[in-house]
Amino acid sequence: MVFQKPPDGGWGWVIVLVSFFTQFLCYGSPLAVGVLYLEWLDAFGEGKGKTAWVGSLANGIGLLASPVCSICVSSFGARPVAIFSGFMVAGGLMMSSFAPNIYFLYVSYGIVVGLGCGLLYTATVTITCQYFDKRRGLALGLISTGSSVGLFIYAALQRELIELYGLDGCLLIVGALSLNILACGSLMRPLESSGSPPPEKPCVDKVPDQYFVYHEKEKTVEENISILEKGYIDEKCVNNVLDCKQDSVLNKNVLSSINVNEKDTYKKKVVEQTNFCKQLAKRKWQLYLTYWRETMVLFKNKVFSALFVAILLFDIGGFPPSLLMEDVARSANINEDDYYMPLISIIGIMTTVGKLILGILADFKWVNTLYLYVTTLLMTGLALFAIPFAKSYLTLAMLSGILGFLTGNWSIFPYVTTKTVGIEKLTHAYGILMFFAGLGNSLGPPIVGWFYDWTQEYDTAFYFSGFCVLLGGFLLLLAALPCWNACTNQSSKLPPNTYSYKVASSA
């Protein structure tokens, strides 16, 4: 599929606005799940590792399904996917209010809500990249702040709703708020290509009429024969009874020959339809082979291979603080009266600031976005190593702010991916990378929770988290040094006025 040159404005700013609110509404509760995490610990009495699976699934399952999400957006478009996903998120949150045990939450909150968020994230990122080129870093930074603002507001909102209406009432209200995603999705108008022919219908819709055997006019051979015979006989019998008998015999002879011809036509149509089905299946199989062949080509890129390892290790180590920081403070025996603001809210607001600043920096030509991303990884690893030494609310708040700002590198991650593989392979490559990010999100919090259940303290867990993030950052840095210039020049080979999404059409 070939799109016209991104307008870098116009309706694109409406796309940015609705994408911002879409991420705000869908990710607000899952990112601020640390507030609910404490309530679920008290309500169900399960271990920290087992309870942490709820939040990790909600934030990871959508990313794990990113290849499927990418195919859905490529096949159906951002608007239908966004509207459908809005129903998923709202329904999952409302069902979670009736959860009888932690295992029910794995499905309702973890899988249903998480998958809906993954579809919405892919839809918003894809349609924003279609509308923006020169200002893509700023646009992605703006829409990605929606989830961070949602984290900041929903952390305080859910705590207040729990105090007023209880845990069940909180989830029902938050689910009702998520229905506003439907209005946002309806405004995601696809970018049309000027001067290009309309998109072709699927192969099944283009089948000529002669390939279909069961027409209304062709009910059965026997019915056609009886109708013709009856009409012919009645017409002749009105004039002359003797002529009617003679004509009836003649009519039967003629219709018997017609019967043979129609049976031959019927067999021919069956053969043609069978051959068509075989060709269609063969074409689909070739498309799947092409998809996996292009996937292997992506992994031959050293930077891309290192990028998927880095994003996996970063999410294993960097995601748990946003889920468990409140419990870290409680485990450190910090008095709740010392809280000036929830730690999760600090992470959320600083993530917003980080996404904006990093997104703006990515638009400067003198800034190498890959090195900028590597810098955020290394600094995140160092901040995680410092958490075990924080024994007061002030130090935890400072570290929460630093981690939140560095987590804002999510705004430049699509930009880094585009520079690495080119815009024509963005949908394909981004879906693969988000799969590994989701794997890290799903494994990180339970691992940290298991470390606590094993050692009864968080120190060892955050040493492990910091090591993972530092390892991923160093691997990406080493892979980028010799071949970054070659990778950044890939997208310049495309025509100046169009951007081609080849992988999306073949997926």
Domain 274-487 = CATH 1.20.1250.20: yes
pLDDT value, residue 221: 45
Cα 336–338–342 angle (5° rounding)?
A: 65
Q: State pLDDT tens for residues 149-203.
A: 888 889 889 988 998 999 999 999 999 999 999 999 999 888 765 544 444 444 4
Rounded CA-CA distance 58/49 in Å is: 15
Pure H helices in 179-240: 181-186, 221-239
User: Distance between CA atoms of 82 and 95, rounded to whole angstroms?
Assistant: 20
pLDDT score of 152: 84
- What confidence score (pLDDT) does residue 498 get? 34
Do residues 52 and 461 make contact, with C-beta atoms less than 8 angstroms apart? no
pLDDT at 88: 93
Q: What is the pLDDT of residue 413?
A: 84
DSSP secondary structure letter of residue 497 = T
Close Cβ partners of 24 (under 8 Å, ≥ 6 residues apart): 146, 147, 149, 150, 153
d(CA 411, CA 403): 15
Residue 471 is predicted with a pLDDT of: 93
Give me the pLDDT at residue 382, please: 93
Q: What is the pLDDT along the chain (507 residues), one digit of tens a residue?
A: 455 666 777 888 899 999 999 999 999 888 888 889 888 988 888 888 888 889 888 888 877 877 788 788 878 888 899 999 999 999 999 999 999 999 999 999 999 999 999 899 888 988 888 888 777 767 877 887 788 788 888 988 998 899 899 999 999 999 999 999 999 999 988 876 554 444 444 444 444 444 444 444 444 444 544 544 454 445 444 455 445 455 555 555 555 555 556 666 766 666 667 777 767 777 767 766 776 777 777 778 788 888 888 988 998 888 888 778 878 887 777 776 666 777 888 888 888 888 888 878 887 888 888 889 999 999 999 999 998 888 888 888 899 999 989 988 877 887 788 887 877 777 677 777 877 888 888 888 888 888 888 888 888 888 998 999 999 999 888 888 754 454 445 444 444 433 333 333 332
| Residues 6 or more apart whose Cβ sits within 8 Å of residue 31 | 59, 147, 148, 150, 151, 154, 322, 348
The residues, any chain, with a CB within 8 Å of residue 492's CB and separated by 6 or more, are none
Q: Is residue 347 within 8 Å of residue 397, measured between CB atoms?
A: no
Q: Is 180 helix (H, G, I), strand (E, B) or coil?
A: coil
Q: What is the pLDDT of residue 84?
A: 93
Please give the helix or strand (H or E) that residue 2 lies within, else none.
strand 2-3
Cβ-contact 31, 59 below 8 angstroms = yes
> Looking at the domain covering 1-193, what would its CATH class be?
mainly alpha
Which ranges in the chain are annotated with CATH 1.20.1250.20?
1-193, 274-487
Instruction: Residue 322: name the closest of 21, 9, 31 by CA.
Output: 31
Place of tokens 């799109």: 3
What global pTM score does this model have? 0.65
